[in-house]
Homo-oligomer: A and B are copies of this chain.
Amino acid sequence: MQFEVTILGSNGAIPAFNRHPTSQVVTYNGSNYLIDCGEGTQLQMSKYAIKRGKLDHIFISHLHGDHYFGLIGLLTSFNLNYRTADLHLYGPTGLDEIMNVHFKYAETKLKYTIVFHELKADEPRIIFENRYFSVETIILKHRLPTTGFLFREKQPLRRIITEKIAEYGIPQLTIFDIKHGADFTTEDGRSIPNVELTREPNLPRSYAYCSDTIYHEAIIPQLNGIDLLYHESTFVDEHADRATETFHSTAKQAATIAKKAGAQKLLLGHFSARYEDLGMILNESRTVFSNSHLAIEGETFPVDIRKIDSI
């Protein structure tokens, strides 16, 4: 199943060096889920061919502008493009009020419904769920109430061994049950145990988005064994004091969270406008956690499938 993250912007508060403010898209099985929506997000979506029609859920971490100033433009463009499908918007208290004051003065009459899900940054909660995965909040520590988002795949089904379908004449309608663990009874009454028909399912995968936050070990248990972790790394080590003052993290701190959580891979983002060259952020992170990568806009990072026997 497709499960990947495309970066639309990963700069910190002020756009710099043609780097856009924060926004990214999680694509799961052809549907898009937008996380944060800094200024210019709708233009970045066009540039990187992210389909607006496949987007029904937008998650906003907090109300600093570099994480949501592009939202009103995107919501307005949906309307101008005659969207009718509901749009689910998850964000902090106040986000709906802000959008509504824009709409009021523009005399905008929405052709679609925005279903606003107000997020409280007090304790982790599951805020979205479908048959494949759930999204839960992560309680981050920043100057404003801020939540991260954890996309957690449900237990995938057992994987049927294709040759067995012909061998035992398994009807299409029965495959669903077998993937769920059922045995199969042949036409002549033989019972074939499930383990003979299927392989172990893949491990459920997970992706966590943590931005913005100071170094905050309280999130580690929730992130335990995460496949792909995006953690903000606004500063290099030299500016660790500045990170603490502004409730942000350094690259090494991001890497430490990844290491302590037993993450598979780390994406670094929310880069300060003071750094034109991001090499030092990457290098510092890799001294602590080798599988670190810069979240460069336009790049797509798959959440890799892990088989049980690969543990």
Contact = CB atoms under 8 A, between A and B. Distances in A.
Nearest to A46: B15
Given A14-B81, A81-B14, A65 B102 contact: yes
Given A20-B43, A65-B73, A101-B101, 13 more contacts: A13-B80, A14-B77, A14-B80, A15-B42, A39-B39, A39-B70, A39-B73, A40-B43, A65-B106, A94-B104, A97-B101, A97-B105, A107-B143
A124 to B, nearest CB: 22
A144 interface: yes
A147 to B, nearest CB: 15
B39 A42 contact: yes
Of residues A21, A98, A101, A105, which shows the largest number of chain B Cβ atoms within 10 Å of its Cβ?
A: A105
A49 to B, nearest CB: 13
A76 interface: yes
23 contacts: A13-B76, A13-B80, A14-B81, A15-B43, A15-B77, A18-B43, A18-B46, A20-B43, A39-B39, A39-B42, A39-B69, A39-B73, A40-B43, A65-B73, A65-B76, A65-B106, A69-B73, A69-B76, A97-B105, A98-B101, A98-B102, A101-B101, A107-B143
Interface string A106-137: 11000000000000000000000000000000
Contacts of A20: 43
Contacts of A43: 15, 18, 20, 39-40
A47 interface: yes
Nearest to A99: B101
Contacts of A97: 101, 105
A72 interface: yes
Contacts of A102: 65, 98
Contacts of A73: 21, 39, 65, 69
Interface string A243-268: 00000000000000000000000000
A64 B106 contact: yes
Nearest to A97: B101
Contacts of A42: 15, 39
A63 interface: yes
A48 to B, nearest CB: 12
Interface string A10-25: 0001111010110000
Contacts of A72: 65, 69
Contact of A18 (B18, B47, B144): B47
Between A77, A95, A107, the greatest number of chain B beta carbons within 10 A of the residue's beta carbon is seen for A77
A105 B94 contact: yes
Interface string A214-248: 00000000000000000000000000000000000
A41 B167 CA distance: 64
Those 8 A-B pairs whose CB atoms lie nearest each other, nearest first:
A94-B105, A39-B73, A63-B105, A69-B73, A65-B76, A40-B40, A101-B101, A14-B77
